[in-house]
Structure 1
């Protein structure tokens, strides 16, 4: 049996610690006061933003009245195993919220996402990344951009081989209509999507403009499922202005899972590899790049 990733171990540990505190009906401030900690320390531990030392964990478990030796040793093992988080070497270019996202991404067995603005980072070509940075940031230095590209390409190792998570993505039509970097960059990006759409672990669908208003218009989101027993699903809500939110509360993750299924049901079910290649071939010829796909959607509705 393989050892769970550091991200999974930290998520399990923080879930257990919150459960123990809530069982005693204590607030974070009350516990921090008893431990003689600053409240932010416990908040950050429970949020998974920082690791907890073995000594601090022992003291915390004693405060919570956890006396079962097996339980204590299990939690101590989680603390030891969760200290080295994925992509922690990129703290200089990523926010703590996005590092938490990367930890979930690298540990999940199933990833579902809806994207409304740009091609998701996991699927971006290097040229697309550079064009996106040039068009959206006025202050990125060449050195910082190189670090961002290095990190993003490292993320994409997740897509290699037959092992790894299953990915189900729905892209709003605007994502592939917007010519980031111009026709040449977008053609290469569409060819990359065509390759990925043929991968046995990856399903990509397009939500056409013709569906009108939909739940995804509230913003992009990503859902994570884990193979480890007892691990709760998580959802990450993305705000392009930099504010992001993650939750593993069942009522929140359940709501977004239902929204994703609804978007899947309304999205195109074509051979997306062929669709992306057709889009690539017509980029620069006019504004109706997806017209053939949209026409097939209408015919498909009639058949159903």
Structure 2
């Protein structure tokens, strides 16, 4: 689980070769392209060599800088295979276009809300641990997913987190404090609802584990469940309905958004 396939690596190398070809035809050095695109020369080199998954913003900027006419932008759509492990690819595509998304997490801050340092601590702590290159790829992909938070039109997003999630010092106190600051920032966005489930709560509707509820632009309602060695999408209406009911009760049992933000601020002060 979580490993990239050989075909994904080949896709990265092919995209990089096309970028290099277009850059060479434009008679630009890596440094010149980097300057025009607003990225470092080392980033351009890593993408050309197939060692780094380019974020969507980089793809769009180099496509424009090289007057590629959408060629690189079109090819970038296929990099989802390189960005994400096979078990996550279908959900990643659905998530990016979601009209609404509601998530319950009981172990860590969700990827959509993670800082880069927190994400590095989470990914580096995997077992077996990924190498540095793979770690960097996963971090870049995770941060790229956060475009959902500012995408237009804005989606409706809701998060219910266990209290232990905002207290667990993954990465150490400094990393946690910065992560809580980011969490508070997101909680203040008008299209995001953040609620914390108190540890002392005696009745709990989410004891069977984390879940994500998602609505597509076509108004399809889906659920996503992720476990130790696999994950799956749920599209059956009855099953999605059960999880939707469960999430509704979770929200009622959790602190309200104002109380939750106050708790995040309090824990931040203790970090």
Residues 43-66 of structure 1: CA deviation (Å, up to 9, x unaligned): xxxxxxxxxxxxxxxxxxxxxxxx
What is the rounded CA distance, in whole Å, between the counterparts of 1:197 and 1:265 in structure 2?
Answer: 17
Return the offset for 1:158. 1.2
Residue in structure 1 matched with residue 98 of structure 2 by the alignment: 108
Superposed, 1:33-48 pairs within 5 Å as none
Larger radius of gyration: 1
State the partner residue of 2:143.
153
| Residues 1:246 and 2:214 are matched in the alignment | no
Task: Report how many residues are paired.
Answer: 197
Aligned to 1:50: none
2:207 match: secondary structure: helix
**Can you list the C-alpha shifts for 1:103-151, whole angstroms capped at 9, x where unaligned?**
1111111101111111100000000011112222333111111111111
Tell me, in whole angstroms, the C-alpha distance in 1 between the residues paired with 2:232 and 2:75.
19
Q: Are the equivalent residues in 2 in contact too, given 1:111–1:225 (CA < 8 A)?
A: yes
Q: Comparing 151-160 with 135-144, which one deviates more in the overlay?
A: 135-144
1:281 to partner: Cα distance: 0.7
CA RMSD of aligned residues (A): 2.0
The answer on whether the counterparts of 1:87 and 1:99 sit within 8 Å (CA) in structure 2 is: no
Which secondary structure does the structure 2 equivalent of 1:138 belong to? Answer: coil
Map of 1:161-176 to 2, 5 A cutoff? 163-176=153-166
Partner of 2:107: 117
Q: Aligned with 2:200: secondary structure?
A: helix
Aligned counterpart for 1:255 among listed residues 242, 248, 252: 242
Aligned to 1:216, the other structure's residue is in SS state coil
- Cα deviation for residue 270 of structure 1 reads 4.6
Q: Which residue is 2:186 aligned to?
A: 196
TM-score by length of 1: 0.61
Q: Which residue matches 1:300? A: none
Aligned residues of 1:233 and 1:253 also touching (Cα < 8 A): yes
Contact preservation (8 Å) 1:86, 1:103: no
Stretches of structure 2 that go unaligned for 5 or more consecutive residues are 1-73
- Answering whether residue 169 of structure 2 is matched by residue 179 of structure 1, we say yes
* CA distance in structure 2 between the partners assigned to 1:270 and 1:223 by the alignment: 19
Alpha carbons of 1:193 and 1:86: their partners in 2 closer, same or farther (altered >3 Å)?
farther
TM-score, normalised via structure 2 length: 0.68
Q: What displacement does 1:90 show? A: 4.2
Residues 273 and 280 of structure 1: CA distance in aligned 2, closer, same or farther (over 3 Å):
same
Say which of 267, 281, 284 aligns to 2:254. Answer: 267
Does residue 232 of structure 1 match 2:244? no
Structure 1 spans left out of the alignment, 5+ residues = 1-83, 284-304
Aligned partners of 1:221 and 1:242: how far apart in 2? 15
For the residues of structure 1 that align with 2:91 and 2:115, how far apart are their CA atoms?
20
Aligned to 2:116: 126
- Separation in structure 1 between the aligned mates of residue 238 and residue 185 of structure 2, nearest angstrom: 36
